[in-house]
Chain A
């Protein structure tokens, strides 16, 4: 099977990159220190890459659009807003700020509530207009961003430095405390979504065909939107917002496999995502000597790819 071979190739490539990343420059005297630092980083990269690819894939399917990522709904701005608000309202010494796991759970809870509300107001409308969704998402995103920066102006500079840490995507200051919790969440999402892969295939035909074929459309879309919100929270909590990665890897996966089957698409986009992040991190650490964050490279390449996609869609 051709598709299986392609997936096998990506799996091997990501394993090679992971091994390279862990073992470069390792010797008998420093391995304890390096392993302690590098292994959590690798796990975080796999989790983030997986969460971003997975959520973007589902999001593009339920919105039936190939140039969207969950960030248009303002989900990652909302995450930053929650973080700022907690520090602003409760102070940096509150348990909700200090205890990473508690903070994480609160954020995810709020994100789920928000996405459920968004669903009721936007997706339930009859003329399910994608431009309306984009517009509202964009405005909400800006709204949350402005609110966050307003609060950031008002708070104590020391407390601000706590938030600043979370504002930029970087694998050099990963939130390692929540690695276990994130793994559990992402794995359970993957298992939960597994039985929906065929339903997602049908949804990618569009709303009317899906309903005609007996899919409980509203119900499935609502569930998937909540899953997207959870996954975005996990990836943003781990490393911060990486806007273009999802768009990039999901479209690459589609071009690479040329199939509509989510069974293959999800796993492939996750693998491409891991390869991109692992490779990018290797380049940054070994070639650029940590002189720039990985999000700069990804947004740079992603920006070009996005323009390419727009031009291509324009032609058809």
Chain B
């Protein structure tokens, strides 16, 4: 379990994340929603130690973030940011192999290669594994990065806007994969997501942020609610039940 207590992040005098306390429960998809600038990505970056916090505590499996050894932590939690520009030319297979770095420090063993193979076939990239990243479409590239995270084989997987710039087909594909990571492999996934309907259909738990504070959190059913969403986004919502999914209409 990941536990966040009174977390604060300030840039200058402005608190981007203001006294946030929450939990990411094991075996679930937790979605962080909220308007731009609500502090969702910052929160995720602090949990995954990409940026330092100003105050507060983050416990991963009961141990504070600073007490974790870097390599051990990289075997426990992984993060994928929304923009992933890499300056060097890599093939998909080379990228995915980097996911094994925490385990083998770059010297792949047979076991590591097995994990890489599994991750590549899990993301259905086998036939293009030797293509370079710059030759891929946006959807393929996103799958390649997720394959790297899968090869890293961590209990917790954090994704910052994994659907950024993807069309509907690829978005559904990615979300289904995340679902199966949780349901079949027992991982814990936390995502920042903007499309409220994807959050509604695929997540178990939703944390709603606004202006650096948590406005409301709860199971998906509680949050996908006209009143709650209107207070988060300040626009009118209509919510319909379609095939057991709650779909928001806000256009």
Nearest CB in chain A: distance from B50 CB, A: 5
Q: Pick from A199, A215, A260: contact of B94, CB below 8 A.
A: A260
CA of A215 to CA of B69, assembled, Å: 10
Nearest CB in chain A: distance from B22 CB, A: 21
Chain A residues near B71: list those with CB within 8 A.
Answer: 214
Given known A66-B87, A205-B98, A260-B88, contact A212–B50 (CB-CB < 8 A): yes
Report if A268 contacts B (CB, 8 A). Answer: no
Report if A285 contacts B (CB, 8 A). Answer: no
Q: Pick from A66, A204, A207, A214: contact of B74, CB below 8 A.
A: A214
CA of A57 to CA of B50, assembled, Å: 25
Interface string of B51-87 (1 = CB under 8 A from A): 1100000000000000000111111001111001111
Interface of A, helix, strand, loop or mixed by DSSP? loop
Given known A65-B87, A213-B74, contact A202–B51 (CB-CB < 8 A): no
Given known A213-B99, A215-B70, contact A198–B87 (CB-CB < 8 A): no
Report if A293 contacts B (CB, 8 A). Answer: no
CA of A216 to CA of B73, assembled, Å: 11
CA of A260 to CA of B86, assembled, Å: 11
**Contact (Cβ within 8 A) B98 A258:** no
Nearest residue in A to B154 (C-beta to C-beta)? A212
Interface string of B159-185 (1 = CB under 8 A from A): 000000000000000000000000000
CA of A161 to CA of B51, assembled, Å: 51
Report if A37 contacts B (CB, 8 A). Answer: no
Interface string of A184-227 (1 = CB under 8 A from B): 00000000000001110110111111011111100000000000
Nearest residue in B to A66 (C-beta to C-beta)? B87
**Contact (Cβ within 8 A) A214 B101:** yes
CA of A204 to CA of B94, assembled, Å: 13
Nearest CB in chain B: distance from A269 CB, A: 15
Chain B residues near A101: list those with CB within 8 A.
Answer: none
Report if A126 contacts B (CB, 8 A). Answer: yes
CA of A206 to CA of B84, assembled, Å: 9
CA of A198 to CA of B98, assembled, Å: 10
From B102-110, B188-196, B197-205, B229-237, the one touching the partner chain is B102-110
Given known A213-B101, A214-B73, A214-B101, contact A198–B85 (CB-CB < 8 A): no
Report if A64 contacts B (CB, 8 A). Answer: yes
CA of A211 to CA of B46, assembled, Å: 12
Interface string of A226-262 (1 = CB under 8 A from B): 0000000000000000000000000000000010100
CA of A202 to CA of B106, assembled, Å: 9
Q: Pick from A197, A213, A260: contact of B102, CB below 8 A.
A: A213
**Contact (Cβ within 8 A) B79 A205:** no
Given known A65-B87, A211-B50, contact A202–B70 (CB-CB < 8 A): no
- Cβ < 8 Å to A, chain B residues 16-44: none
Nearest residue in B to A210 (C-beta to C-beta)? B101
Give how many A residues have a beta carbon under 8 Å from the other chain's beta carbons. 23
Chain A residues near B128: list those with CB within 8 A.
Answer: none
**Contact (Cβ within 8 A) A216 B70:** yes
Sort chain B's interface into a size bin. Answer: 20 to 34
Chain A residues near B86: list those with CB within 8 A.
Answer: 205-206, 209
Nearest residue in B to A65 (C-beta to C-beta)? B87
CA of A206 to CA of B74, assembled, Å: 16
Chain B residues near A205: list those with CB within 8 A.
Answer: 86, 88, 98
CA of A198 to CA of B71, assembled, Å: 14
**Contact (Cβ within 8 A) B50 A204:** no
**Contact (Cβ within 8 A) A126 B51:** yes
Chain A residues near B70: list those with CB within 8 A.
Answer: 214-216
Nearest residue in B to A126 (C-beta to C-beta)? B51
CA of A263 to CA of B245, assembled, Å: 53
**Contact (Cβ within 8 A) A204 B88:** yes
CA of A165 to CA of B107, assembled, Å: 47
Report if B215 contacts A (CB, 8 A). Answer: no
Chain A residues near B99: list those with CB within 8 A.
Answer: 213
Chain A residues near B90: list those with CB within 8 A.
Answer: 260
CA of A66 to CA of B94, assembled, Å: 20
Chain A residues near B79: list those with CB within 8 A.
Answer: 208, 212
Report if B48 contacts A (CB, 8 A). Answer: yes
Nearest CB in chain A: distance from B73 CB, A: 7
Q: Pick from B50, B75, B89: contact of A258, CB below 8 A.
A: B89
Chain A residues near B142: list those with CB within 8 A.
Answer: none
Query: Interface centre among A204, A212, A216, by most B CB within 10 Å?
Result: A212
Chain A residues near B105: list those with CB within 8 A.
Answer: 198-199
Report if B141 contacts A (CB, 8 A). Answer: no
**Contact (Cβ within 8 A) A206 B85:** yes
Nearest CB in chain A: distance from B79 CB, A: 5
Q: For the A-B complex with A202-B101, A213-B152, A214-B74 known, give 16 more contacts whose Cβ atoms are closer than 8 Å.
A: A201-B98, A202-B98, A204-B87, A204-B88, A206-B85, A206-B86, A206-B87, A207-B50, A209-B86, A212-B152, A213-B98, A214-B75, A215-B101, A216-B70, A260-B88, A260-B94
Could you list 9 examples of A-B contacts with CB < 8 Å?
Answer: A126-B51, A198-B105, A198-B107, A201-B98, A206-B85, A214-B71, A214-B73, A215-B101, A216-B70
